[in-house]
Structure 1
Amino acid sequence: MHLVLTGATGLVGSAVLHHMLNAPSIHKVTILSRRPVAQATGHEKVNVIIHRDFANYASSVLDQVKDADGVVWAQGISQTKVSKEAYEEITYTYPLAFARALAETTSPKPLNFVYVSGEGATTTPSSLTPRFGIVKGRAEKDLLALSKDPEHQNLRPYSLRPAGVDPGHHQEIHEFLPEKNVLEKVMFGPVLSVLRSVANGFTSPTRELGKVLTDLAAGDGAPIEGTGVVEEGRTVTNLSGNIS
């Protein structure tokens, strides 16, 4: 099993990478990253591709992932950290561009593409929907639409909507988390601890989240059934209990 990962130096990506590195069924992990990935250092089954332009993919990059079975797109950023235009580019344009390019490269072989969205995303926004919910919801919707395009019908998209991402009990990744995530863990750890104990549906422990994302990328690509699963079995909400 060959999986591709983006966002490997972030909070969710670090959790996913930890699970991929320790999953015997995964023989190869290709990481697309703007910078070296410390967590991957020394692991023979990992290939880190330093990639700068996530809106475009040269044949030299696609040739290295043409046999991929699945993708976890964990790249992302807070809407408060960048301009409106940059947020849309990172959150919407980049994953759609890669899904399109890789599906064409791997066709007709099925390709699972797992998009890390967020609780609060919606494909039917209202005037009260926050910007992140609108943009991520549009990415969810258009990934599903892309899979119905005859040229990309091998694409098997999934979107997961984690809530309060909680690394508190996932000590193995703490040393690899960005400084801002370590600070957030210290500041909001007590809040997450309370939510974890009284309202599990509002937190997403990274150990479990990393496993769910990896398993979907490595799975059979079929629609999911169950409470809290929407959009034709392709979107899993955090309140479903599948990722908390």
Structure 2
Amino acid sequence: MHLVLTGATGLVGSGVLHHMINASSINQVSILSRRPVPMAEGHVKVKVIIHKDFTTYPSEVLNQLKDVDGVVWAQGISQTKVNKEEYLAITHTYPLSFARALSTTVSPKPVNFIYVSGEGATTTPSFLTSRFGIIKGRTEADLLALSKDPAYSNLRPYSVRPAGVDPTAHAEIEGYAPKKTGMEGLFVRTLLPVLRFAPGWLSPTRELGGFLSKLAEGDGEAKEGEGVSGEGRTINNPAFRGMMGI
């Protein structure tokens, strides 16, 4: 298996990368990143492709990805850290641009595209829905619509909606995942300890990383069950936890 990962220096991405490095079923990992990825250093099956503009993918990048089987798109940012236009670009434009480019590159071979969304995302927003929920939900819907376009019919998208991402029991990524600041830091210091009394609202990074990686490796078929929506391609946090037996 050859998988692509973005967001490898973030919290979710660190959990995914740790799993990919140690999974015997994965023989090659290509990371798209703006900067070096310390966790990847020294691992022969991991290649970091330094890439600055996530709206466009030149041939020298795509030529390295012709045999890719799946993608985990874990790149993201808090809506509190950028303006609306930047958030839209990072959260919506970037993943859609890469999905189109990669689908065309590997066609007609099927490719799984795993988009890390979040609890609170919705494809039917109201006036009370946050910017996060609206734009993440739009990306979920647009990835699904893209897969129905004959030009990109080999695309097999999934959107996964983690809740409170918890690295507490994942010592291997400590020192690699960034320390949270601002509102995110406040969540880690105050709400995360409270949520441990309601584990259904938590997404432990070890299990989440494994789940996202295995989806990228999988058969690309629609999922079923409670907490699965979007024609079997959107998986909420309780459904992820159930599938992972936690």
Corresponding residue of 1:205: 204
Task: Write the distance in 2 (CA, Å) between the matches of 1:232 and 1:73.
Answer: 20
Corresponding residue of 1:75: 75
1:237 aligns with 2:239: no
Corresponding residue of 1:109: 109
Corresponding residue of 1:120: 120
Partner of 1:138: helix, strand, or coil? helix
AA of the residue aligned to 1:236: I
- Quick check: 1:8–1:75 contact (8 Å CA) kept in 2? yes
Task: Write the distance in 2 (CA, Å) between the matches of 1:52 and 1:143.
Answer: 22
**Is there any run of 5+ residues in structure 2 with no aligned partner, and where?**
none
Corresponding residue of 1:53: 53
How far apart are 1:58 and its partner, in Å? 0.1
Q: Percent identity?
A: 67
**Is there any run of 5+ residues in structure 1 with no aligned partner, and where?**
none
Corresponding residue of 2:62: 62
* TM-score for both structures, normalised by structure 2: 0.95
- Quick check: 2:222–2:231 contact (8 Å CA) kept in 1? yes
How far apart are 1:121 and its partner, in Å? 0.2
Task: Write the distance in 1 (CA, Å) between the matches of 2:179 and 2:165.
Answer: 16
AA of the residue aligned to 2:202: T
Closer, same or farther in 2 for the Cα pair 1:149/1:46, shift >3 Å? Answer: same
Task: Write the distance in 2 (CA, Å) between the matches of 1:209 and 1:141.
Answer: 22
How far apart are 1:175 and its partner, in Å? 1.0
Partner of 1:54: helix, strand, or coil? coil
Task: Write the distance in 2 (CA, Å) between the matches of 1:190 and 1:25.
Answer: 38
Corresponding residue of 1:16: 16
Task: Write the distance in 2 (CA, Å) between the matches of 1:34 and 1:152.
Answer: 26
Task: Write the distance in 2 (CA, Å) between the matches of 1:30 and 1:227.
Answer: 33
Aligned runs of 1:116-195 on 2, under 5 Å? 116-180=116-180, 188-189=188-189, 191-195=191-195
Task: Write the distance in 1 (CA, Å) between the matches of 2:37 and 2:165.
Answer: 21
How far apart are 1:112 and its partner, in Å? 0.1
Closer, same or farther in 2 for the Cα pair 1:191/1:74, shift >3 Å? Answer: same
Task: Write the distance in 1 (CA, Å) between the matches of 2:45 and 2:185.
Answer: 30
AA of the residue aligned to 2:63: D
Task: Write the distance in 2 (CA, Å) between the matches of 1:33 and 1:11.
Answer: 14
AA of the residue aligned to 2:166: D
- Quick check: 1:69–1:112 contact (8 Å CA) kept in 2? yes
**RMSD after superposition:** 1.7
Corresponding residue of 1:215: 214
AA of the residue aligned to 1:232: E
- Quick check: 2:12–2:74 contact (8 Å CA) kept in 1? yes
How far apart are 1:179 and its partner, in Å? 3.0
- Quick check: 2:121–2:132 contact (8 Å CA) kept in 1? yes
* TM-score for both structures, normalised by structure 1: 0.95
Partner of 1:236: helix, strand, or coil? strand
- Quick check: 1:4–1:30 contact (8 Å CA) kept in 2? yes
Q: Deviations over 1:133-154 (max 9, x none)?
A: 0000000000000000001000
State how many pairs are aligned. Answer: 243
Q: Deviations over 1:78-112 (max 9, x none)?
A: 00000100000000000000000000000000000
Q: Deviations over 1:133-178 (max 9, x none)?
A: 0000000000000000001000000000000000011010011011
- Quick check: 2:3–2:216 contact (8 Å CA) kept in 1? yes
How far apart are 1:185 and its partner, in Å? 6.7
Task: Write the distance in 2 (CA, Å) between the matches of 1:186 and 1:163.
Answer: 15
How far apart are 1:189 and its partner, in Å? 4.9
